[in-house]
Chains A and B, each alone.
Chain A
Amino acid sequence: MDPSRKRKIRLVVALGAALLLAGALAYTSFSASSEARTPSQLAAGSDPGRSYQLTGKVADGSVRRQGATITFRVRDRDGTGSVPVRYTGTVPDPFREGREVIVTVRRQGGVFVGERDSLVTKCPSKFKSADQPAR
């Protein structure tokens, strides 16, 4: 085979591999991603197997501890809809009632079960514009 033809084939193979990888990336990232939802959106409907990123505020007076498991309700940032969440494990430092949280959940029956280590607490609003980490 003459060299220029060989090079061309090589280029095509390389480009094909790159395209394949890019396609796989795009496809899997969409199917593996978890959509961001508010509590009232989740309450309105959700697929049992899918994971969602739930964002909202921890409802006042809803936090219960039982062993290493915590149950609480997450309500809309401004609104009344709320959903129950069960989370096992240590919660981040600034976790309190009334604070904004993001947690990856899956529905199990009537409860949304948080994935391990997925709970992130946003700092209270007085810090919002300041240089405060958000976990």
Chain B
Amino acid sequence: MGVLGRACLILALGVALYGIAASVYGARARRREWVASGRRAVYALAFLVTVAFVVLEVAFLRSDFSFEVVASHSSTTTPTFYKVTAVWSSQEGSLLLWILLLSLSSSLVLFLTRHRLREVAPWATATLLGFGAFFALLLVAFAPPFGQTATPPLEGAGLNPLLRHPSMMIHPPMLYSGYTLFAVPFAFCVGALIARRLDAEWIRSTRRFTLAAWLFLGVGVLLGARWSYSELGWGGYWAWDPVENASLMPWLTGTAFLHSVMIQERRGMLKVWNASLILATGILAVLGTFLVRSGILDSIHAFGASTLGVPFVAFIGVLIAGSVALVISRRVELRSEHRLDSLLSRESIFLINNLVLVGLCFVIFWGTFFPLIAEALTGKKASVGPPWFDRYTVPLALALVLLSGVGPVVAWRRATLASLRRTLLWPAAAAAVVLVVLVPLGAGDRPLALAMFALAAFVVSVVGQELWRGVRARMAMSEDPVPLALVALVRRNRRRYGGYLVHVGIAILFVGVAASSAFRHARDVRMSPGQTAKVGGYDLRYVKPTAELANEKISLGAVVDVRKDGERVTTLRPTRGFYPSRDVEQFGPIGRYFEGEATSEVGLRAGPTRDLWTAIQPDIQPLMPIIAEGNRRFAQSSGDVQGLVIAAIAARYERRPPPATFRIIVSPLVTWIWVGALIAVGGALIAIWPVGAGARRRATAGYAARVAREIGSARSGPGRPEPARRARARA
């Protein structure tokens, strides 16, 4: 089977290289059959990579330890769900996943655009296959996933315990889907630049892919945050860790791109900016993969061995040089068709929003790479911490939320102050009410959090007001009841109202972030059973210890009774799971069960107003003499007897528990981070959802009629763009 996998990867590399050559030749010689052949090479790549991926999956499911990757990342006792997902916990497997997702999204976009974009598509095909060839090369030459040994071990190392969390297993495919989907607009932008077809057609054809990329990447980032919150045992969801930053940066530039392309579609402006943004996004996506996989920066989960550093740096260098050269050489074609009419217009608000997003990205970039920058400049290693990041990102985030409220209601081209005053009166009043209500409650000493609450109220009421206006207009025309009118309104312009919903979701998310970082109470306390700790108005009593031998691990934990003002709130059961180490020589036959990796199972009670979060760190030091004795006396015993000894040690812990260290956090409104995220996802789905064939037919029929009228009356300009623009403006 390993031979099949290896053969598929080598063929994949060959097919990718062939496809590049065929597409480029087809585009230059204007030979359609070669272009089609290049496109089919993408399908073939997808097929080959899928086969290779299935081979690896099967090896994991069968626990075939003759595969080195399987032996080092899975074991017979690993639950089936984690066997399936352990594939991408390895370096090799995750690169394979990358190229798999890339080839699938490339195939989809090229299939959908096969009758359009005749000049752009072949170059886009070549670009996508360029990515494919690079990753295929990595898999063939630098990180081969199908390495086999003649003497397979009897048991594998198992999946890293920290990664045994549902969201952690969905998180990598989500991130990679986002990264690879961003390769689609990247490639079509390159294609448009090379072919000098710099109208908005390439943007329109790949819009759904860009949105999907943005959605998947965002979900991936949030799943990572969720994992950090509930698995890492420190109680935070974001730490400005290099790997977190790596995934956030392309998301930020992607967000900027989603906004600024509207200006190009509508007004033919900002072409250089848009091209640069999406090229930067694509490069940042590759950079993100590189950061995680190369281990160049010290990070909590920089997983990589460093053999990938050189090829990745070379590839990124080629991408940057090529992008810069392309944009500069096409600067004449990229000239704007219009100029900014007024500083008070949607264009200029979008532009400011773009600058804020890119500024945010730049701050994060600087902070992330600061260790390398500092070492290059001063020769000394140094790094910046979360306070430095917060200093810049908090004000920028505030500006962003403000703009997300103003943007939707400012008219295109030129808005008047009077109209703006009219539309923003009620939202501003809502923000003021929030300020007046919250200041007496003590929010005043955290001005930045307070500002965020007010701005979020502003955004939510702007969107509410817009919806209400639309619904009222609709009802006046159709006499539908409110819910029906609302649905009809949203269906008529999914992109706009989906976007509004995303704004609401993000505003709510930021409320959660601001509240939970400004008003959280956290304490580390050491308690014996019976003792009580007071945190944020809650009394947490360590009732009794628990000890349990379960599926591959020893869980030592606690029952914690939570009361507020004497009334019982809930019972939390934080535990800590000790996974066995395989190092018998160092730790002994019994000790190895206590000295391996350990992970926290957080005791969490989430609620709409606050989360109660606890983690326990049992002190196993007092057990050490007993464990040492066990090591001596039961070294030669059978596995069953050793199991009994471990059970006895666990039982002893339960009977005579030493004091344990607890981390207790009472954090307000954390839940709203996840709720806001879900709302944003819903909004993105509304915007992304394919328009039904019927609706499209109706729309195009009406459009055709309008165009016919316009041509009949005016015969304006060279063909389509002008009437199309006017038709849209009216819609």
Identify the A interface with B (CB < 8 A): 3, 7, 14, 18, 21-22, 25-26, 28-30, 32-36, 53, 65, 67-68, 88-94, 96, 102, 104, 117-118, 120, 126, 129-135
Q: A33-B370, A96-B595 are in contact. Are A131 and B300 (CB under 8 A)?
A: no
In-complex Cβ contact of B359 among A7, A21, A30, A131 (8 A): A21
Question: What 13 new A-B contacts, CB under 8 Å, besides A130-B157, A134-B299?
Answer: A26-B366, A29-B388, A32-B385, A67-B525, A90-B234, A91-B617, A92-B233, A93-B162, A102-B298, A117-B236, A132-B303, A133-B303, A135-B300
- Residues of chain B within 8 A of A18, CB atoms compared: 359
Kindly state the separation between the CA atoms of A118 and B162 in the bound complex, as whole angstroms. Answer: 19
- Say whether chain B's binding surface is mostly helix, strand, loop, or mixed: mixed
B103 near A: Cβ within 8 Å? no
Q: A32-B388, A90-B615 are in contact. Are A68 and B366 (CB under 8 A)?
A: no
Closest residue to B243 on the A side, CB-wise? A133
| Residues 102-130 of B contacting A (Cβ, < 8 Å) | none
B392 & A129 in contact (Cβ 8 Å cutoff): no
Please, could you name 7 A-B residue pairs with CB atoms under 8 Å apart, sorted by A? A25-B366, A28-B388, A53-B383, A94-B598, A120-B300, A133-B301, A134-B299
Interface size class of B (residues with CB under 8 A): 35 or more
Kindly state the separation between the CA atoms of A89 and B89 in the bound complex, as whole angstroms. Answer: 30
Q: A29-B384, A94-B597 are in contact. Are A131 and B89 (CB under 8 A)?
A: yes
B151 near A: Cβ within 8 Å? no
B206 near A: Cβ within 8 Å? no
Closest residue to A35 on the B side, CB-wise? B382
A93 & B599 in contact (Cβ 8 Å cutoff): yes
A133 & B300 in contact (Cβ 8 Å cutoff): yes
A135 & B232 in contact (Cβ 8 Å cutoff): yes
In-complex Cβ contact of A133 among B160, B383, B388, B600 (8 A): B160
A68 & B661 in contact (Cβ 8 Å cutoff): yes
B300 & A90 in contact (Cβ 8 Å cutoff): no
Kindly state the separation between the CA atoms of A91 and B660 in the bound complex, as whole angstroms. Answer: 12
Q: C-beta contact mask, B588-622 vs A, less than 8 Å → 1, else 0?
A: 00000001011110000000000000010101010
B381 near A: Cβ within 8 Å? yes
- Residues of chain A within 8 A of B366, CB atoms compared: 25-26, 29
B583 near A: Cβ within 8 Å? yes
- Residues of chain A within 8 A of B300, CB atoms compared: 120, 133-135
- Residues of chain A within 8 A of B91, CB atoms compared: 131
Q: C-beta contact mask, B287-302 vs A, less than 8 Å → 1, else 0?
A: 0000000000011111
In-complex Cβ contact of B383 among A33, A90, A131 (8 A): A33
B205 near A: Cβ within 8 Å? no
Q: A89-B663, A90-B661, A93-B162 are in contact. Are A28 and B234 (CB under 8 A)?
A: no
Kindly state the separation between the CA atoms of A134 and B302 in the bound complex, as whole angstroms. Answer: 7
Kindly state the separation between the CA atoms of A72 and B387 in the bound complex, as whole angstroms. Answer: 26
| Residues 383-419 of B contacting A (Cβ, < 8 Å) | 383-385, 387-388, 391-392
B90 & A131 in contact (Cβ 8 Å cutoff): yes
Kindly state the separation between the CA atoms of A32 and B663 in the bound complex, as whole angstroms. Answer: 28
B600 & A93 in contact (Cβ 8 Å cutoff): yes
B303 & A104 in contact (Cβ 8 Å cutoff): no
Q: C-beta contact mask, B246-273 vs A, less than 8 Å → 1, else 0?
A: 0000000000000000000000000000
B367 & A29 in contact (Cβ 8 Å cutoff): yes
A67 to chain B minimum Cβ distance, whole angstroms, is 5
B465 near A: Cβ within 8 Å? no
Q: A34-B383, A94-B598 are in contact. Are A134 and B301 (CB under 8 A)?
A: yes
- Residues of chain A within 8 A of B302, CB atoms compared: 134
Closest residue to B90 on the A side, CB-wise? A131
- Residues of chain A within 8 A of B367, CB atoms compared: 29
Closest residue to B232 on the A side, CB-wise? A135
Kindly state the separation between the CA atoms of A14 and B359 in the bound complex, as whole angstroms. Answer: 12
B597 & A93 in contact (Cβ 8 Å cutoff): yes
A26 to chain B minimum Cβ distance, whole angstroms, is 8
The residue among B234, B359, B382, B599 with the most chain A CB atoms within 10 A of its own CB is: B382
Q: A53-B382, A104-B385 are in contact. Are A25 and B619 (CB under 8 A)?
A: no
B476 to chain A minimum Cβ distance, whole angstroms, is 41
B160 & A93 in contact (Cβ 8 Å cutoff): no
B298 & A68 in contact (Cβ 8 Å cutoff): no
Kindly state the separation between the CA atoms of A28 and B157 in the bound complex, as whole angstroms. Answer: 45
B363 & A25 in contact (Cβ 8 Å cutoff): yes
- Residues of chain B within 8 A of A67, CB atoms compared: 525-526
In-complex Cβ contact of A134 among B234, B298, B355, B387 (8 A): B298
B76 near A: Cβ within 8 Å? no
- Residues of chain B within 8 A of A33, CB atoms compared: 370, 374, 382-384, 388
B233 & A132 in contact (Cβ 8 Å cutoff): no
- Residues of chain A within 8 A of B234, CB atoms compared: 90, 92, 117
B429 to chain A minimum Cβ distance, whole angstroms, is 31
B479 near A: Cβ within 8 Å? no
Kindly state the separation between the CA atoms of A99 and B223 in the bound complex, as whole angstroms. Answer: 30
Q: A25-B392, A135-B232 are in contact. Are A90 and B524 (CB under 8 A)?
A: yes
Kindly state the separation between the CA atoms of A25 and B373 in the bound complex, as whole angstroms. Answer: 12
B597 & A36 in contact (Cβ 8 Å cutoff): no
In-complex Cβ contact of B385 among A21, A34, A36, A126 (8 A): A34
A72 to chain B minimum Cβ distance, whole angstroms, is 13
B381 & A35 in contact (Cβ 8 Å cutoff): yes
B661 & A131 in contact (Cβ 8 Å cutoff): no
Closest residue to A51 on the B side, CB-wise? B385
In-complex Cβ contact of B524 among A29, A89, A102 (8 A): A89
B591 to chain A minimum Cβ distance, whole angstroms, is 12
In-complex Cβ contact of A68 among B380, B392, B526, B595 (8 A): B526
B305 near A: Cβ within 8 Å? yes
- Residues of chain A within 8 A of B384, CB atoms compared: 29, 32-34
Kindly state the separation between the CA atoms of A25 and B339 in the bound complex, as whole angstroms. Answer: 32
B637 to chain A minimum Cβ distance, whole angstroms, is 26
Closest residue to B300 on the A side, CB-wise? A135
- Residues of chain A within 8 A of B346, CB atoms compared: none
- Residues of chain B within 8 A of A88, CB atoms compared: 524
Kindly state the separation between the CA atoms of A68 and B595 in the bound complex, as whole angstroms. Answer: 21
A68 & B525 in contact (Cβ 8 Å cutoff): yes
Closest residue to B352 on the A side, CB-wise? A14
In-complex Cβ contact of A35 among B72, B298, B380 (8 A): B380
B388 & A36 in contact (Cβ 8 Å cutoff): no
A123 to chain B minimum Cβ distance, whole angstroms, is 8
- Residues of chain A within 8 A of B600, CB atoms compared: 93
Kindly state the separation between the CA atoms of A116 and B624 in the bound complex, as whole angstroms. Answer: 28
- Residues of chain A within 8 A of B303, CB atoms compared: 131-133
Q: C-beta contact mask, B150-165 vs A, less than 8 Å → 1, else 0?
A: 0000000100101100
B95 to chain A minimum Cβ distance, whole angstroms, is 12
B73 near A: Cβ within 8 Å? yes
| Residues 280-331 of B contacting A (Cβ, < 8 Å) | 298-305
In-complex Cβ contact of B598 among A32, A34, A93, A129 (8 A): A93
B383 & A36 in contact (Cβ 8 Å cutoff): yes
- Residues of chain B within 8 A of A36, CB atoms compared: 380-383
- Residues of chain B within 8 A of A30, CB atoms compared: 374, 382
| Residues 139-177 of B contacting A (Cβ, < 8 Å) | 157, 160, 162-163
Kindly state the separation between the CA atoms of A12 and B656 in the bound complex, as whole angstroms. Answer: 72
B296 to chain A minimum Cβ distance, whole angstroms, is 13
Kindly state the separation between the CA atoms of A126 and B583 in the bound complex, as whole angstroms. Answer: 10
B624 to chain A minimum Cβ distance, whole angstroms, is 11
Kindly state the separation between the CA atoms of A96 and B551 in the bound complex, as whole angstroms. Answer: 24
